[in-house]
Structure 1
Amino acid sequence: MRPSEIASAIETLITVKQPAFIWGAPGVGKSQIVAQLAAKHDLKLVDIRAVLLDPVDLRGIPRIDDEGKTAWCAPSFLPTEGNGILFLDELNTAPPLVQAACYQLILDRKLGEYELPEGWSIIAAGNRESDKAVTHRMPSALANRMVHLDFEADLDDWLLWADNNEVVPSLKAFLRFRPTLLHAFDPKKNAKAFPSPRSWEFVSTILAAKPSNSTIKALITGAVGEGAATEYLAFLTACDQLPSVEEVLTSPDTIELPDDPAVVYALCESVAREASDDVIPQIAVLAARLPIEFSVLLMRDSAATSPSIVETPSFANWAYANSDILV
């Protein structure tokens, strides 16, 4: 399932208080999507890394109550009020005894004398066994207590996220050109760094910090691996040859267009970011000169930047001229 579908499914499960387990390869964004859902619905988020727990950590420690009986002091990280998501991250990485300690909590919403408040839901996540990550096989008794969702990276969903999180434009253009590099994890290889939605976010953060030319290759390679880093740096070099957006919008009918498809992606990305009602006539002229796949890309991204342009005559004329493609 793509991230947006995972989010929709989790929202449904939250309403019925049904525990869920999100399966996915390292770096695809399992933890992040749970955090985003909590923020979206104004829910508290308690993130428990099960791998860091001992079996006794969940139940707490015993004490003698006023009647001389043994009572258990629940750990402070378990919620006692309000509404939220109890997120058991890396659950299948935890030793079997820790997973067993979660049985009652997940099924009955209780753990000894502790009871999960009514407004809280339980979501768990972990890597797949096929990813060769450190995992323990989940006991069937625990697995049967949850709805299982398979998380797959999706470029369109990632680009939508990137638009709202200040990801550097060149990176978005590059991954449009090389979508298979959004997540290229091979469990058969013992690579320390590999392309993933998480590691590309690292790259964007690194570039925003404006590293020196002497370290940029090592930094990007350290985030996404040598192959992906080499391709991206070559893409950046090609993009440096692009005319400025001002030059493009001043002469959209005569400006020389690049031959390299990768650079055309970058051109569309940079021009679309400047879209407005004032410049849509020039953008439409440029779009008419581009191959149809880039023309659609440019106008679609321009509309995402400035939705009001779809009401302009220039956009309407372009849409009419390409109606056979758009239907």
Structure 2
Amino acid sequence: MKPLEVKAAVDHLVQERVPLFLWGAPGIGKSSIVRQIAQERGIGFMDLRLTLLDPTDLRGIPFFDAASHKAVWAPPAFLPDGSEPEGILFLDELNTAAPMVQASAYQLILDRRIGEYELPEGWAIVAAGNRESDRGVVFRMPAPLANRFVHLEMEIDPNQWRSWAVANGFDPSVIGFISARPEALFMFDAKSAHRSFATPRSWEYVDKILKSTPEEALLMPLLAGSIGEELAAEFLSWRASAGELPDLEAILEGESQPIPKSTNALHVLSSMIVARIEPKTPTQTLENLLGYLLELDPEFSVMIVKELQQKGVLLEKASNWKQWIKAFGYLLA
């Protein structure tokens, strides 16, 4: 399932408090999607990395209660205590945890309680983990535990990632490069011994590195440490070949600007335009943009218009919209 479909499915199951297990390769944003759902719903979120826990960490430690003359389990303080009536308990890396930790989690998932602790009624349980084929150290999940979940598998979608990256203000050269080379978004090879490889998470690191404006001598080592040496060299070469870009603000002011001849530059410019234009952009600005897009390569002109429409930009209110449709409308089908 693609990320947006996964998000919608998880949202439904969280609402009904149906336990689910989200499978997927490392670095593709599984935990980010679950956290985002909690934020959008305005509910609590607790992320437990089960690989860091011992079985007693979940169950608690027994102590003697002098009043009742019984051994009582002291619940762990890090589990939801009911101060937030609704939330998501996210059990990350469940199948990477040791079998005894999985057994403790099994009771929590099955009975919504463990020892003296009981999960608050309004809390849903979501677990996640990598597949056995992803070169991680995983333990096979017992069938009774697996049967307690709805299982969803998440995959990469470069188009959905591009929309997300634009909305989150990624460096246009990163967005442009992935637009030109969608396969570079995720280049994980379970058989490779390389420590660094490209994933949506590592491209987010690339964006942060570029925004930190490091010295030129540091740029290559930093990028290579994020996405691997070969891809880092290709990205920097691609970025340099984009060359000089037209002044976007001048375009939006209606001033004449050159049309890039390089495909690389067109990808970067497209990313800049989509990031800059919002639904509240004035009509005159949209008219100036459409005037420029009428001169642009048809493929890129149509791509920009489609992405702006997906953002809710009403290009139809521009006076030269019909002119653009007459020129490129046949490519919209």
TM-based fold match above 0.5: yes
Cα deviation, residue 299, structure 1? 2.1
Counterpart position of 2:228: 225
Cα deviation, residue 167, structure 1? 1.3
Contact 1:19 1:145 in 2 (8 A): yes
Cα deviation, residue 305, structure 1? 6.5
* Aligned length, in residue pairs: 324
Range moving further from structure 2, 207-216 or 153-162: 153-162
Using structure 1 for the length normalisation, give the TM-score: 0.93
User: Does residue 73 of the first structure (1) align with residue 78 of the second (2)?
Assistant: no
Flag as ranges the 4+ runs of structure 1 deviating above 6 A. Answer: none
Counterpart position of 2:203: 200
Question: 1:171-207 deviations in whole A, cap 9, x for unaligned?
Answer: 1111111111111111010111111000000010111
Cα deviation, residue 288, structure 1? 2.5
Counterpart position of 1:264: 266
Counterpart position of 1:27: 27
User: Does residue 83 of the first structure (1) align with residue 86 of the second (2)?
Assistant: yes
Cα deviation, residue 149, structure 1? 0.7
Aligned residue identity for 2:135: K
Partner Cα distance (1:155, 1:222) in 2: 22
5+ unaligned residues in a row in structure 1: which ranges?
none
Aligned residue identity for 2:212: A
Pick from 118, 127, 151 the counterpart of residue 154 of structure 2.
151
User: Does residue 210 of the first structure (1) align with residue 216 of the second (2)?
Assistant: no
Aligned residue identity for 1:278: Q
Cα deviation, residue 240, structure 1? 3.3
**Cα 1:298–1:100, aligned 2, differ >3 Å: closer, same or farther?**
same
User: Does residue 293 of the first structure (1) align with residue 299 of the second (2)?
Assistant: yes
Using structure 2 for the length normalisation, give the TM-score: 0.91
Partner Cα distance (1:304, 1:240) in 2: 29
Question: 1:220-244 deviations in whole A, cap 9, x for unaligned?
Answer: 1110011221121012212232233
Pick from 233, 243, 246 the counterpart of residue 243 of structure 1.
246
Contact 1:162 1:172 in 2 (8 A): yes
Partner Cα distance (2:272, 2:30) in 1: 30
SS of the residue aligned with 1:289? coil
Alignment of 1:113-124 (within 5 A): 113-124=116-127
Cα deviation, residue 10, structure 1? 0.6
SS of the residue aligned with 1:13? helix
Q: Percent identity?
A: 41
Partner Cα distance (2:217, 2:106) in 1: 52
Alignment of 1:55-204 (within 5 A): 55-65=55-65, 66-81=67-82, 82-204=85-207
